[in-house]
A = this chain, B = another copy of it.
């Protein structure tokens, strides 16, 4: 069954969403029958007119009865409700997960894709594809987009397509080089995004780890200064969320430094900030790039992270930065996250 839905959704992206709405509408009518349009439109949080279209369709299909007392569910409609019941959890699982995350993390928008990035490589692709779609939706003329590195963001970059709206967009790396694979670095990704979309990009030619002295010196450099200033005006921030210790190791932290991180309870990492369970900053890399206050000034923060192993990191980061945030994650991370928030209610 999963197969059918999955395939259909490729051709009809909002199929499940519409199905869910119709099902819930039918269910609402069933529980409140007989009920009128006006009352029902308040319950279902829709306008009268739009609800009308829906109920007329359901009536056409013989699932509803219209009487002077109001609408009620026909026998056929009841049969549909009964037969759908066992499928509901599976069908709407992801939507449901997203809604739960939205509530618990207080994030305006959450999208959950199927699978677990830890288990299937293609889930990263899916995250990227969805992320690219969201970015394309949110982009505006003349936007400055700050991007970090990482495989999720790389996948997003890969799925971007040219569009006239992107012509005036500038992609700016949020960080310097991370000293690892070049195809996952912020600098590279900014240029890839620009190439894919037809936008322009800037580079931040600084190493990620710096001594305080070198940092000060570099900040004086005009070429660096310019990019930093631009970075601060970012309307959109696109970033991944990393596991604190994993990121620290990639950044070649010494064993002592790692111990310190562990000691302060660092869990997640994003743009060089390390957060603990509660979302508090417990460590900050002395480096050049996007600062947390700049992120908070951004109008759109696109966070991408998948895989059950990222659950803790996502949770702690979400506590820090929930406002104006769009979280794109996967089923694995979502379930793990909910299980850790509410261990008893984590079934489905």
Contacts and interface: CB of A to CB of B under 8 A. Distances in A.
Interface residues of A, number: 35
Nearest to A90: B4
Contacts of A66: 161
Interface stretch (A14-22, A36-44, A95-103, A201-209): A14-22
B4 A4 contact: yes
Contacts of A76: 10
B61 A11 contact: yes
Given A12-B19, A18-B12, A4 B3 contact: no
A73 to B, nearest CB: 12
A50 to B, nearest CB: 14
B57 A14 contact: yes
The oligomer's copy count stands at: 2
B60 A10 contact: no
Interface of A: 1, 3-8, 10-15, 18-19, 22-23, 26, 57-63, 66, 76, 80, 83-84, 87, 129, 133, 159, 161
A141 B57 CA distance: 22
Given A83-B3, A129-B62, A15 B13 contact: no
A133 B84 contact: no
Contact of A18 (B1, B7, B15, B60): B15
Contacts of A83: 3, 6-7
28 contacts: A1-B3, A1-B4, A3-B83, A3-B87, A4-B4, A4-B5, A4-B87, A6-B83, A7-B80, A7-B83, A7-B84, A10-B80, A11-B19, A11-B23, A11-B26, A11-B61, A11-B84, A12-B15, A12-B18, A13-B57, A13-B60, A13-B61, A14-B57, A15-B15, A15-B18, A15-B19, A60-B133, A62-B129
Contact of A12 (B10, B13, B22, B159): B22
A87 B3 CA distance: 10
Nearest to A60: B133
A22 B11 contact: yes
Interface centre among A4, A60, A133 (most CB of B within 10 A): A4
A6 B83 CA distance: 10
Given A6-B83, A11-B19, A15-B15, 8 more contacts: A3-B83, A3-B87, A4-B4, A8-B19, A11-B63, A11-B80, A13-B57, A15-B18
